[in-house]
Each structure stands twice: as structure tokens, then as C-alpha cells.
């Protein structure tokens, strides 16, 4: 297995089938966690994760929220349209029926501020309203697919993934969707090639708090190509910390971390991609619950984008970004020959 470009999985201790021992170990731990997770009360799960995040945060200041290595511009990078300095991509993972019920509030918040985004739904966890999907599409939003069941078992084995990929592909066709993101940011970029997608968004530049914490160390999109070029899709890593991490686990009381990271991305001409969950947002001035934060935080972030960087960013839906970078004039991955993992905008798996 040949990998080029940003790091996707650990390369140390790689086994005969191309899977690193660290990756195999992490997979075993994930499977064990999701096997016992139903027996853990939700408050206990959150308390455990908060404790772990506090411990990790003490050790990761050099790579989070900013990993300087991720700011390197890939060789052959074509730049953004209209000579914009950076790209802004807004996405939402709708994890539960509660989040599904709040999509209207979130989309109206964005619409009022002049923004559009992508909403990723879980096909087999709750009922996804066809009316909601049609309404979002009619108003200029995008609809994508977020796993299948959100049960932590998508990558349990190659066989499980293949079986579920068939159902995910059926949903992609039914919804007219071209984008995918795995629950909990689990990923195997080689397996994801089984999906009939234009782009995947299951990775991140740096996030040591994720269960599979192997950041790709770039704030730029990159192309993933399978053996012999059999499959190809664009990978869009999220580059701003997730709202759940900041406001639920870390219990931050403002958006300073978002603003700091956004300014850093803008200065380096990268892609500012954020993943916000309506499930954890509290609208209409209500008092936030134990796992919620005020929607005004997100509104304040969007206002900051407009006021601090107005005219400098290309605000784009992920599907349109993937389309643009697949065209000859803007192709990601038309990289120069040369060594170095940050010198290419392509990964071969």
C-alpha cells in the first residue's frame, strides 16, 4: 500500500496486509468501547470524556488547536477562485432525532446571516424527513450522508464495511448526495473508496481528542486515489475544532479558539471547514442543557467571519468545492513530482 501526501494512518509497525499495529490496536479499542457503551449511562460517558480531554489538553499545546505543519501549501496548489485568500466551508453532522428537529432553526440562523451549509444525516438511526431534505435543497443548502447507523461499527471489519457501503450508496443515490462523513471521524481512506462519492469529510488537520486521532496535518483539500486509480475522491478535513469538543467537553464560554484558528488559516490561504451539530445547540434563548451550548456562539462566529474577513473568503458548499477542484483548471493533486509528505495534494491508498 502506497501513501503519498498528508499522513492518513500510522506507518510504524505496518503489518503484511498494510494495516499498522497502532491502527489495529485503535480499532480493537474502539470496538471494545462501542461494545460496552450501551451499559454506560450517558452522564458517565460525558464525565469520562471530559476527564480524558482535560488530561490530553495538558500535553497537546504544540499541536492543538494549531499544528504549524498543517499550514504548508502543497506543491502545485492552484489557489482559490476569484483570488480569494481562503475558503470557508460550513458543515453539520445531525447525530440524533433531536438534531434533526433543530435543523430548521440552524438553517434559518445561517440564512439570516447570508450563509449556506451542508447537513449530513444518519440514514438508519432516525427518520430523515424527505420534506426537510427538499426544503434545504430548495433554499441552497446541501444534504450529505453521515455513516449508516452511528453505532461505531462501520469499520469493525472489511466485510461489515462492504455490506454497509452498499446501503450507504443506495442512500446517496436516493438523496442525490455526493458527500460522506463517518460518525466519530473514524476513517479508513482506502475503504471509503467503496462509496460512490465526490468527497469525504471524515478527517481533520489536528484533533488529539478524537477516538482516532491521526490528523492529516494539512488545512488544504487533497485527493485520495485507490490502487490503479480505481477510485478517486476529494478529502476535506475539518480544520476548526468541533463544537462538541469546545463547548460540551471543554466547556469553553466563548469562541476565542475558533477565532484564533480561523485567523491562522486565513493567513495561510487554507480551507476553514467547521463541523457544527444542531444536536448540541440551544436556540431561542433557552437555558442550555448538560450537553448543549447557546446557538449565539455559532452566530457570533459567523458574524466574526463577515466582519474580520469580509471579501477575503470563498464561501462554498463542499460539493461545489469538490466539483471545482475536480475540473482541469482547479484540480487538487496535480502536484509536482518530489518528496515530502506536505509537498503533494494527493494520497494513494
5: in domain: no
**Structural domain harbouring 204:** 21-348
Q: Do the domain assignments include residue 113?
A: yes
Report if residue 246 sits inside a domain: yes
CA angle, residues 140, 113, 135, in degrees to nearest 5 = 30
Q: Is residue 210 part of a domain?
A: yes
**Is the CB of residue 347 less than 8 Å from the CB of residue 121?**
no
pLDDT of 30 above 80: no
Task: Say how many domains are in the chain.
Answer: 1
pLDDT of residue 347: 74
Whether the predicted pLDDT of 340 surpasses 70 = no
pTM of the entire structure? 0.88
Q: Which residue has the higher pLDDT, 300 or 9?
A: 300
- CATH number, domain of 107, equals 3.20.20.370
Q: Find the mean pLDDT for residues 62-74.
A: 97
pLDDT band (50, 70, 90) for residue 26: low
State the pLDDT confidence band at 45, using cuts at 50, 70 and 90: confident
> Is there a domain that residue 96 lies in?
yes
pLDDT at 254: 98
**Is 230's pLDDT higher than 80?**
no
The predicted-structure confidence for 258-296, as pLDDT tens digits, reads as follows 999 999 999 999 999 999 999 999 999 889 999 999 999
Strands 346-348 and 313-315: what pairing?
A: unpaired
| CA–CA distance, 242 with 240 (Å, rounded to integer) | 6
What grid cell was written down for 133? 431534505
User: At a CB cut-off of 8 Å and minimum separation 6, what does 339 contact?
Assistant: none
Please check whether residue 282 is in contact with residue 295, taking contact to mean a CB–CB distance below 8 angstroms: yes
> Is 11 contained in some domain?
no
Please report whether residue 14 resides in a domain.
no
Is position 34 within any domain? yes
Note the pLDDT of residue 331. 61
Amino acid at each position: 500500500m502506497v501513501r503519498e501526501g498528508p499522513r492518513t494512518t500510522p506507518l510504524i509497525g505496518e503489518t503484511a496486509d498494510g494495516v499498522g499495529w497502532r491502527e489495529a490496536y485503535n480499532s480493537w479499542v474502539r470496538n471494545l468501547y462501542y461494545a460496552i457503551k450501551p451499559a454506560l449511562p450517558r452522564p458517565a460517558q460525558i464525565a469520562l470524556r471530559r476527564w480524558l480531554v482535560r488530561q490530553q489538553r495538558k500535553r497537546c499545546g504544540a499541536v492543538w488547536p494549531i499544528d504549524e505543519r498543517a499550514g504548508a501549501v502543497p506543491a502545485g496548489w492552484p489557489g482559490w477562485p476569484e483570488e480569494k485568500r481562503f475558503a470557508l466551508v460550513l458543515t453539520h453532522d445531525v447525530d440524533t432525532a433531536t438534531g434533526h428537529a433543530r435543523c430548521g432553526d440552524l438553517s434559518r440562523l445561517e440564512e439570516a446571516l447570508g450563509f449556506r451549509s451542508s447537513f449530513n444525516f444518519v440514514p438508519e438511526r432516525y427518520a430523515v424527513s424527505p420534506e426537510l431534505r427538499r426544503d434545504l435543497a430548495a433554499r441552497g443548502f446541501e444534504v450529505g450522508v453521515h455513516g449508516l447507523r452511528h453505532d461505531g461499527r462501520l469499520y469493525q471489519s472489511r466485510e461489515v464495511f462492504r455490506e454497509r457501503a452498499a446501503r450507504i450508496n443506495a442512500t446517496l443515490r436516493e438523496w442525490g448526495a455526493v458527500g460522506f462523513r463517518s460518525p466519530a471521524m473514524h476513517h479508513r481512506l482506502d475503504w471509503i473508496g467503496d462509496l460512490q462519492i465526490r468527497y469525504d469529510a471524515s478527517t481533520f488537520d489536528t484533533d488529539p481528542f478524537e477516538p482516532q486521532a491521526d490528523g492529516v496535518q494539512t488545512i488544504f483539500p487533497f485527493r485520495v486515489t485507490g490502487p490503479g486509480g480505481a477510485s478517486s475522491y476529494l478529502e476535506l478535513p475539518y480544520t476548526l475544532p468541533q463544537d462538541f469538543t469546545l463547548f460540551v467537553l471543554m466547556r469553553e464560554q466563548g469562541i476565542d479558539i475558533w477565532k484564533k484558528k480561523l485567523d491562522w488559516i486565513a493567513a495561510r490561504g487554507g480551507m476553514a471547514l467547521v463541523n457544527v451539530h444542531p444536536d448540541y445547540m440551544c436556540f431561542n434563548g433557552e437555558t442550555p442543557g448538560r450537553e448543549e451550548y447557546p446557538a449565539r456562539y455559532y452566530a457570533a462566529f459567523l458574524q466574526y467571519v463577515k466582519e474580520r474577513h469580509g471579501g477575503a473568503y470563498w464561501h462554498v458548499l463542499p460539493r461545489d468545492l469538490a466539483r471545482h477542484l475536480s475540473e482541469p483548471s482547479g484540480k487538487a493533486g496535480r502536484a509536482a513530482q518530489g518528496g515530502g509528505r506536505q509537498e503533494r495534494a494527493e494520497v494513494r491508498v
